[in-house]
Structure 1
Amino acid sequence: MKKIGITGGIGAGKSLICKIFELLGIPNYPADARAKWLQENDPKLVSQIKQHFGAESYSPEGTLNRSYISKIVFGNDEKLRILNKLVHPAVANDFYNWCIQHSDKPYMLKEAALLFETGSYKQLDATINVHASQEIRLDRTLARDPQRKEEEVLSIMKKQMSDEERLRMADYVIFNDDSQSVIKQVVELNQKLSI
């Protein structure tokens, strides 16, 4: 079974593209969503986070105290590195088990915002970059997340890999900028990947 990574900058439309692939019967592992789920549902990971960041990392009900963790790790590269060192192996193990459950498919997707930045693309057979200009991505993100300010979204974009570098590193590109049909692009790519 081929493992195909799918990535793109914030607001590029990764989730939309993954939904189209799913309609074609291709399973998608949403790595970022699963990481959040594991931080509240994997007992070993929960214990490790509490050990490194304190009991305040979780509410009495067991939900991750995201604002508390954010204040600790963002702006502190060492603390962020520790958190990633705990979360990434848990996600890798979860992904491995998920792949076994979907091994009857010709290929599967692993959706991750930081696919290249974390190096996880190295464990995959190929990568897809969902591309849209920074202006389009900014507009989409502000419309989708009205609680965010433009400066915050631009700050996130600066922390992500540049569009040029993602385009250079990707094996395939889907242009989600209204210049061409994304459905047609996904159907054609699905045919290539299913061989």
Structure 2
Amino acid sequence: MSIIVGLTGGIGSGKTTVAKLFEKHGIPIYIADERARAIMDQPDVVQAVQQIFTTSVITEQGTLDRSKIKQLVFDAKDQLNKLNQIVHPRVKEDFDQWLIEHKEAPIVMKESAILFENGLEKNCDVVVLVIAPEEVRIERVMNRDGVSKEQVMKIINNQMKDEEKLRRSQYIIENNNKKSLESDIISIIRDINLKNHLI
């Protein structure tokens, strides 16, 4: 069985950058958001999601209008829960299948922004948390998504606070643009290997 490492962090923390560096060092990465997007393009999922909403959320191409769905569920917890009930079990099945495909790898990594929020850390052997100063995170998201500071703050305030995530994580990576992440990643991989007698 592979050691499953959960990788998480708030919006703008730089999880994707960190994930790519782990991948560079030979660790297969499962990006939950990307896989969820692909699953949401499946015709049966499109129809199931449409049932949640009274207004159409399907584009002319027959795919889901993600930006419209995001707006509709942002302040509607009930609809968000229904959406999660459709998507999350399928992502879990997809991850289980992916694990089988990567069973030869000593360590695999699951990257998810909502690892703790969805209780996914229970299925991980260890968790790596990526953190960054709030002003750095805000600037990154504003530049990346072309949104206002207020919009970014609304998302940050809706996510679990870093203090709580820090308490529940075994490894912390500070991604503040000022230092190389590579040495942190190498030492984390080495430590996981040592603790699990993989080297």
TM class by shorter chain equals: over 0.9
Stretches (4+) displaced over 3 A = none
Q: Distance in 2 between matches of 1:137 and 1:60?
A: 34
Task: Tell me, yes or no, if the aligned pair for 2:52 and 2:79 is still in contact at 8 Å.
Answer: no
Cα distance in 1 between the residues matched to 2:177 and 2:56: 45
TM-score (structure 1 length as normaliser): 0.92
What is residue 58 of structure 2 aligned with on the other side?
58
**Any gaps of 5 or more consecutive residues in structure 1?**
none
Partner of residue 13, structure 2? 12
Alignment-derived partner of residue 23 in structure 1: 24
**SS at 1:4 equivalent:** strand
The change in CA–CA distance for 1:55 and 1:134 in structure 2 (over 3 A counts) is closer
Q: Contact 1:45–1:90 (CA<8 Å) still a contact in 2?
A: no
2:142 alignment counterpart: 142
Q: Secondary structure at the match of 1:153?
A: helix
1:154 aligns with 2:117: no
TM-score (norm 2): 0.90
CA contact (8 A) 1:130 1:174 kept: yes
**Unpaired runs of at least 5, structure 2:** none
**Aligned Cα RMSD in Å?**
1.6
Identity among equivalent positions (%) equals 38
Aligned residues: 193
Q: Give yes or no for contact 1:7–1:130 (8 Å, CA) kept in 2.
A: yes
**1:178, distance to aligned residue in structure 2 (A):** 4.2
* Inter-partner Cα distance in structure 2 for 1:143 and 1:60: 29
Counterpart in the other structure of 2:96: 96
Distance 1:55 1:149, change over 3 A: closer
Instruction: Find the aligned partners of 1:175 and 1:73 in 2 and give their Cα distance.
Output: 31
CA pair 168-179 structure 1, distance change in 2 beyond 3 A: farther
Tell me the residue number matched to 2:129: 129
Contact kept, 8 Å, 2:131 with 2:174, in 1: the verdict is yes
Deviations 1:52-108 (A, max 9, x none): 336822223222112332343221111111111111101101111111111111111
Question: Closer, same or farther in 2 for the Cα pair 1:54/1:96, shift >3 Å?
Answer: farther
The aligned residue for residue 45 of structure 2 is 45
> Whole-Å Cα distance in 1 between the matches of residues 38 and 55 of structure 2?
18
Contact between 1:40 and 1:63, CA under 8 Å: does it hold in 2? yes
